[in-house]
């Protein structure tokens, strides 16, 4: 079974894989869960996961797990009982060490200066992060392809009204080179809330990903033109929770 693109909060147990082999969990977030992942007598591949404020352990059970590109921040422990092989992961502010896992390219840190938050995402790497471009290329091929469409860079938040012609294209670098460590987000290039567009043209192009929030994301006033060409993502007020709860 494959589970992907989920976000769970305040769960005692998040996802459980029981018996049979070959399970996969991908591109998912667990926030303030006691035990996000449980495995029993099985093998599982857990790829590109974010664990934040974990009350007990990120992973528990009796199986064998391959983990790639995890960010675990503020957890009592990483793993209990289960055999875990972990690669290209960031383990930050873990209370109980050592934990029983194997692997390479894993980093432990106090948490100071590791992450920045923007638009509801709390685990973007800081601008000059030492954890970029230091991972191994020896990861699952499908995951590597996915990460080339994802990013560890935060969106730029625009706070000034649009008063002149503006063109916005992609700026959050997609991870197309040596992998960065840890969890990778779906990219957002720009975010804003409550901005006016007046007597000018706003052009979104080349697959730029934009998030807008608040009661009014963009107000078109006299002479305004809002043009989209090849836009990858444009989230309006009805979807504002999407970028407010990215962790």
Give, for all 247 residues of the chain, the pLDDT tens digit: 899 999 999 999 999 998 888 899 999 999 999 999 999 988 999 999 999 999 999 999 888 899 999 999 999 999 888 888 999 999 999 998 766 677 776 787 788 899 999 988 999 999 999 999 999 999 999 999 999 999 999 999 999 999 899 999 999 999 999 999 999 999 999 999 999 999 999 999 999 999 988 888 899 999 999 998 865 555 443 333 344 445 7
117 and 104 in a common domain: no
152 and 79 in a common domain: no
217 and 174 in a common domain: yes
pLDDT in tens, 92-114: 999 987 666 777 767 877 888 99
92 and 17 in a common domain: yes
Q: What pLDDT score does 20 carry?
A: 84
94 and 165 in a common domain: no
Residue bearing tokens 């929770």: 241
179 and 125 in a common domain: yes
184 and 72 in a common domain: no
Query: Could you say which of 75, 94, 110 is where a domain stops?
Result: 110
26 and 37 in a common domain: yes
Q: What pLDDT score does 107 carry?
A: 80
Q: Name the residue range of residue 104's domain.
A: 1-110
Query: Could you say which of 78, 110, 142 is where a domain stops?
Result: 110
Give the predicted TM-score (pTM) of the model.
0.89
Q: What pLDDT score does 99 carry?
A: 63
Q: What pLDDT score does 246 carry?
A: 57
Query: Could you say which of 110, 128, 152 is where a domain stops?
Result: 110
183 and 79 in a common domain: no
What is the count of structural domains for the chain? 2
Residue 55 φ/ψ region, left for φ over 0, alpha for ψ in the -120 to 50 degree band, beta for the rest? alpha
């Amino acid at each position: 079974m494959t589970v992907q693109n989920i976000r769970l909060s305040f769960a005692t147990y998040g996802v459980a894989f029981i018996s049979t082999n070959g399970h996969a969990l991908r591109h998912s977030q667990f926030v303030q869960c006691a035990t996000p992942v449980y495995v029993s007598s099985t093998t599982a591949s857990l790829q590109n996961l974010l664990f934040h404020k974990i009350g007990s352990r990120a992973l528990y059970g009796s199986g064998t797990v391959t983990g790639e590109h995890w960010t675990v921040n503020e957890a009592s422990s990483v793993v209990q009982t289960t055999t875990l092989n972990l690669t290209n992961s960031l383990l930050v502010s873990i209370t109980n060490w050592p934990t029983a896992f194997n692997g390479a390219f894993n980093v432990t840190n106090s948490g100071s200066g590791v992450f920045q938050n923007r638009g509801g995402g709390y685990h973007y790497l800081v601008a000059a992060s030492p954890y970029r471009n230091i991972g191994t290329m020896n990861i699952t091929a499908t995951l590597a392809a996915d990460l080339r469409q994802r990013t560890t860079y935060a969106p730029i938040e625009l706070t000034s009204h649009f008063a002149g012609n503006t063109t916005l294209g992609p700026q959050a670098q997609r991870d197309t080179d040596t992998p960065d460590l840890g969890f990778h987000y779906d990219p957002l290039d720009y975010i804003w809330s409550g901005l006016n567009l007046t007597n000018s043209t706003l052009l979104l192009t080349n697959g730029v990903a934009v998030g807008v929030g608040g009661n009014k994301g963009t107000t078109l006033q006299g002479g305004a033109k809002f043009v989209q060409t090849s836009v990858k993502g444009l989230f309006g007020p009805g979807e504002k929770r999407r970028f407010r709860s990215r962790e």
